[in-house]
């Protein structure tokens, strides 16, 4: 029959321990008799370390048993909570080799797989979990000397061998039990905070902040012990979390500053390019208008062709200017919406107001340049139309003006802003 640690726990709870390794058991029924036979007789006794010292194995009799630590493959047997803490806590690290075997504590009758957990054990389990998370944030582990090494501005050690100062460790745990629900919540949140993976971006900074906070509770040259962290758990967690949050805020601030500068430069560049792209074409209009004068005395048909070309060129320039004016208007809308869409922090609002003022000044100057250039285009259109009509009969001049009027209306309808109907 296969023996489990649960079978041994059943026996442990039926006996009265009279010494560390000796106990008396009253065989009340056949089930108890069968249990002792399975555990104390034959090959099983080698693994269970249970032996019958005195008494007859039959129902109604009381027998004296020797009960020692069973083979470690089954589990752990402790006389009391003190021995449990001394033995179990140092085996918590390294975590990948941590002992997860079941255990039984005689003096409180607690089995690690029980549903109900004594408060002192609940506090202990929380601190044990915290130790594992702290080790994961350290620089390295010195398992042989029971030390966790943190490296920050200065190197310091966290000692976790509670056997050297067990009384202080127990007092710290007992203090946790006085407000157990709150303290377990704080430790749980701290463990979650320690275990959050920051994808390598801020992990080193988090470790540095944790090490700095832990070093602050170290008194003098004395080594930092785990009970000191338990006693200051609220302070340690709030300080570490607060400093890391401040770091993230500063990190976001720098990102927003960079974003603001990049967008400001982008807006300025786009504003400068908006009207400047067609400036050279508009500057060519006076030269084109002067061409007929240069050709004066030549064939009148040649002059007419030049005026028609000037008219077409001026119309093309008006289209180009209208397009760039639309770009300028869109830029103005983008600048206006950047503050809300970019979600700038309050601390950068004043700086953005200054940058926005510079951009609006450029937009205003480019708008003035647009109106000067569009005026030049309209003058070129009027000038070319006048000279074309002068070279034509009254009928064809009238037809030309009607055609230009129709074309002007069509252009206006094409480029005017579209008003969306409210939904």
Q: What is the pLDDT of residues 194-252, one digit of tens each?
A: 887 654 567 888 888 888 888 888 877 778 899 999 999 999 999 888 888 777 766 65
Instruction: Give the Cβ contact number of residue 284 at 10 Å.
Output: 12
Query: Which tokens belong to 247?
Result: 């770091």
C-alpha to C-alpha distance for 401 and 147, rounded to whole angstroms: 96
pLDDT band for position 65 (50/70/90)? very high
Residue 81 has pLDDT above 80, yes or no: yes
Mean pLDDT value across residues 168-177 = 95
User: Range with the lowest mean pLDDT among 77-86, 96-105, 353-362, 402-411?
Assistant: 402-411
Mean pLDDT value across residues 180-188 = 94
pLDDT at 361: 85
Residue 125 has pLDDT above 80, yes or no: yes
Higher local confidence (pLDDT), 254 or 78: 78
Q: How many helices (H) and strands (E) does the chain have?
A: 14, 11
C-alpha to C-alpha distance for 314 and 319, rounded to whole angstroms: 9
Higher local confidence (pLDDT), 202 or 276: 202
Highest mean pLDDT among 106-110, 287-291, 398-402: 106-110
- Cα–Cα distances (Å) from 393 to 365, 380, 398, 413, in that order, read 43, 21, 9, 30
Mean pLDDT value across residues 275-296 = 58
Query: Which tokens belong to 237?
Result: 């967690």
Residues 70, 77 contacting (CB under 8 angstroms): yes
The CA-based diameter of the chain, rounded to the nearest angstrom, is 145
pLDDT at 392: 63
Which residue, among 161, 187, 19, has the nearest Cα to 89 in the 3D structure?
Answer: 161
Q: Which residues contact 336 (CB under 8 A, 6 or more apart)?
A: none
pLDDT at 354: 80
Q: What is the pLDDT of residues 362-399, one digit of tens each?
A: 888 878 887 888 888 888 777 777 777 776 666 666 67
- Cα–Cα distances (Å) from 194 to 123, 149, 238, 251, 276, in that order, read 18, 16, 12, 20, 56
Residues 252, 222 contacting (CB under 8 angstroms): no
Mean pLDDT value across residues 145-166 = 87
C-alpha to C-alpha distance for 218 and 158, rounded to whole angstroms: 9
Residues 319, 412 contacting (CB under 8 angstroms): no
pLDDT band for position 255 (50/70/90)? low
Q: Which residues contact 165 (CB under 8 A, 6 or more apart)?
A: 225, 227
Question: Where do the DSSP E strands lie in 333-421?
Answer: none
Which residue, among 335, 377, 375, 383, has the nearest Cα to 357 in the 3D structure?
Answer: 335
Q: What is the pTM of this model?
A: 0.61
| Crossing angle between the packed helical segments 300-341 and 394-415, to the nearest 10 degrees | 10
Burial degree of 26 (CB within 10 A; 0-12, 13-18, 19+): middle
Residue 416 has pLDDT above 70, yes or no: no
Q: What is the pLDDT of residues 39-55, one digit of tens each?
A: 998 889 999 999 999 99
Higher local confidence (pLDDT), 266 or 278: 266
Residues 236, 229 contacting (CB under 8 angstroms): yes
Q: What is the pLDDT of residues 305-345, one digit of tens each?
A: 777 777 777 777 777 777 777 777 887 777 777 666 555 55
User: Range with the lowest mean pLDDT among 7-16, 158-167, 280-289, 372-381?
Assistant: 280-289
**Sheet architecture: strand order including 16-17:** 16-17, 22-26, 62-67, 50-54
Residue 407 has pLDDT above 90, yes or no: no
DSSP annotation of 348 reads G
Residue 419 has pLDDT above 50, yes or no: no
Residue 420 has pLDDT above 50, yes or no: no
pLDDT at 421: 42
Q: Is the peptide bond before 94 cis (omega within 30 degrees of 0)?
A: yes
Helical residues (DSSP H) of 277-299, grouped into ranges: 279-294
C-alpha to C-alpha distance for 406 and 409, rounded to whole angstroms: 5
Percent of the chain, pLDDT > 90? 38
Which residue, among 178, 282, 193, 304, has the nearest Cα to 230 in the 3D structure?
Answer: 178
């Amino acid at each position: 029959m296969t023996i489990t640690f649960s079978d041994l726990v059943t026996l442990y709870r039926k006996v009265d321990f009279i010494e560390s390794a000796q106990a008396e058991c009253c065989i009340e029924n056949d089930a108890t008799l069968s249990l002792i036979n399975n555990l104390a007789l034959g090959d099983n006794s080698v693994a269970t370390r249970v032996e019958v010292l005195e008494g007859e194995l039959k129902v109604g009799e009381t027998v004296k048993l020797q009960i020692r630590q069973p083979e470690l493959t089954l589990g752990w047997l402790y006389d009391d909570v003190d021995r449990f803490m001394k033995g179990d806590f140092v085996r918590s690290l390294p975590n990948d080799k941590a002992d997860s075997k079941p255990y039984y504590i005689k003096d409180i009758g607690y089995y690690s797989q029980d549903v109900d957990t004594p408060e002192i054990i609940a506090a202990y389990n929380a601190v044990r979990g915290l130790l594992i998370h702290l080790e994961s944030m350290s620089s390295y582990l010195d398992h042989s000397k029971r030390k966790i090494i943190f490296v920050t501005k200065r190197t310091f050690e966290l000692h976790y061998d509670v056997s050297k100062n067990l009384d202080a460790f127990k007092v710290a745990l007992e203090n946790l039990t006085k407000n157990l629900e709150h303290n377990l919540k704080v430790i749980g949140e701290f463990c979650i905070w320690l275990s959050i993976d920051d994808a390598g971006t801020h992990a080193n900074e988090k470790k540095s902040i944790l090490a700095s906070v832990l070093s602050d509770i170290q008194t003098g040259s004395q080594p930092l012990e785990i009970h000191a962290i338990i006693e200051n758990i609220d302070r340690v967690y709030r300080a570490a979390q607060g400093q890391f949050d401040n770091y993230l805020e500063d990190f976001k601030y720098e990102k927003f500053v960079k974003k603001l500068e990049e967008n400001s430069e982008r807006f300025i560049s786009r504003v400068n390019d908006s009207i400047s792209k067609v400036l050279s074409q508009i500057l060519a209009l006076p030269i084109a208008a002067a061409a007929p004068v240069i050709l004066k005395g030549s064939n009148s048909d040649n002059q007419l062709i030049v005026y028609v070309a000037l008219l077409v060129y001026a119309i093309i320039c008006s289209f180009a200017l209208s397009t760039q004016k639309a770009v300028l208007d869109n830029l103005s809308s983008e600048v206006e919406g950047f503050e809300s869409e970019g979600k700038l922090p309050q601390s950068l609002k004043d700086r953005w107001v200054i940058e926005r003022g510079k951009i609006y000044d450029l937009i205003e100057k480019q708008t003035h340049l647009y109106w000067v250039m569009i005026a030049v285009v309209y003058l070129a259109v009027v000038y070319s139309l006048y000279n074309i009509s002068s070279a034509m009969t009254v009928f064809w001049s009238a037809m030309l003006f009607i055609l230009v009027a129709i074309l002007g209306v069509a252009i206006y309808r094409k480029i005017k802003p579209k008003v969306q109907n409210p939904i």
